Amino acid sequence: MRLLALLILLLSVPAAARPADSPRRLVLIDDDVIGLNGVPTLLLQAPGVEVLGITTTSGSVWRDTATAHALRTLEILGRTKVPVVPGATFPLLNSQEQVKRWEGMYGRLVFKGPWTDYWPGDTIQDHPGATDPRVVPDLPEGNPTLKPSAEVAALFLIRMARAHPGEITLFATGPMTNIALASSLDPDFARNIKELVYMGGSLNPTQRIRNASADQFAREFVNSPRREFNIRWDPEAARIVAHAPWRKVTMIPVDPSTGTQWSSDYLATIQAVPSPLAQALGKSISPGFPMWDELAAMVWLDPAIVTRSETLWIDFETSMAAAYGDTLSWTEAYRPHLGEQAQTVVLEVDRARMEADMRALYTRPVAK
């Protein structure tokens, strides 16, 4: 009876929180970190996962601000030995001046990361920060005392991939500048990676949650369904990555994120647990936002949350025209054979199961 009770207890624990029965899975995280939610925290909290390092890039915030968020995350989680390696501050070609010129011809973008200077008709979010990339604002979760690595992100990624060929899953949940640089410096970089999992791109997202907060985000895709910020910040980098010889690629576009949301009720269930992480999350997360990057972590940690996916060949538009940064996709019969790669594209997820898995990780005791 005791054995049966133990088995029932184990099966009741979400898959992402169960003890691993296989060797530790190695991961690298490349991210424009903006708080305690997202890929770094979930993977650092996941049993059986070893985070070899976090590389940072500009995107939603400037690189140095993302670096500060990553360092503070490690401090709160008690994982201060994980290196944080700063990467690209600017895109390969895209620039603030080019964005303004593009907007003059084709209309305003909804979100431009640190270049955001105008919200048309509302205040869905404060200005993301200073125009000077070297200025790091005070963080809601507290400022870090930990210092970043002196290594360069692209070189760190190459070094780790060479040290563990075929063993590392690489998570890309911001613009892909660092990964494009690593791929360009080392033609074997992509081959040395076990799997690339990225949050980026957009196919045909539809609004699935109806409330005031969700309505504010629907307009981003109503008239431009193929445009997504991570790709639009650095389309050239995304195209380099799309053409690299990866062993396996899993794409999480915007599409499934429209069925997710950081709600006040869900946050309250996490904050009810008296742990440093659970309490800090309340200061770091604003209710109303979709669970963009969290999807990338949870699809990998618990593949059973995926309810619909498709194999597509993916590329990204880099011509300096109206579609700059848009996602291109084909089935095998229609692809142009110009170097695009097959990718598993996640289209729908089980929100309830995903949230349960996330809650188990966010409320799990942190390292001492």
- Tens of pLDDT, residue by residue over 180-231, are 999 999 999 999 999 999 999 999 998 888 765 555 566 778 889 999 999 9
Residue whose C-alpha is closest to residue 62's, from 29, 97, 99, 90: 90
Q: Are the C-beta atoms of residues 362 and 266 closer than 8 Å to each other?
A: no
pLDDT of residue 15: 45
Residue 345 φ/ψ, nearest 5 degrees = -105, 120
Q: Are the C-beta atoms of residues 205 and 255 closer than 8 Å to each other?
A: yes
Q: Centre a 10 Å sphere on the Cβ of residue 64 and count the other Cβ atoms it contains.
A: 17
Q: Are the C-beta atoms of residues 38 and 286 closer than 8 Å to each other?
A: no
Crossing angle, helix 153-163 and helix 177-185, to 10 degrees? 60
> pTM surpassing 0.85?
yes
- Burial pattern 151-174, b for ≥16 Cβ within 10 A else e, equals bbbbbbbbbbbeebeebbbbbbbb
pLDDT of residue 288: 84
Pairwise CA distance, residues 256 & 244, whole Å: 25
pLDDT of residue 282: 78
Residue spans of beta strands (DSSP E) within the chain: 25-31, 49-56, 84-86, 168-172, 193-199, 249-252, 306-316, 327-330, 341-349
Q: Are the C-beta atoms of residues 95 and 265 closer than 8 Å to each other?
A: no
Q: Are strands 306-316 and 49-56 parallel, antiparallel or unpaired?
A: unpaired
The DSSP output letter for 132 is S
Which parts of the chain sit beneath pLDDT 70?
A: 1-22, 118-130, 211-218
pLDDT of residue 10: 35
pLDDT of residue 218: 65
pLDDT of residue 17: 44
pLDDT of residue 330: 98
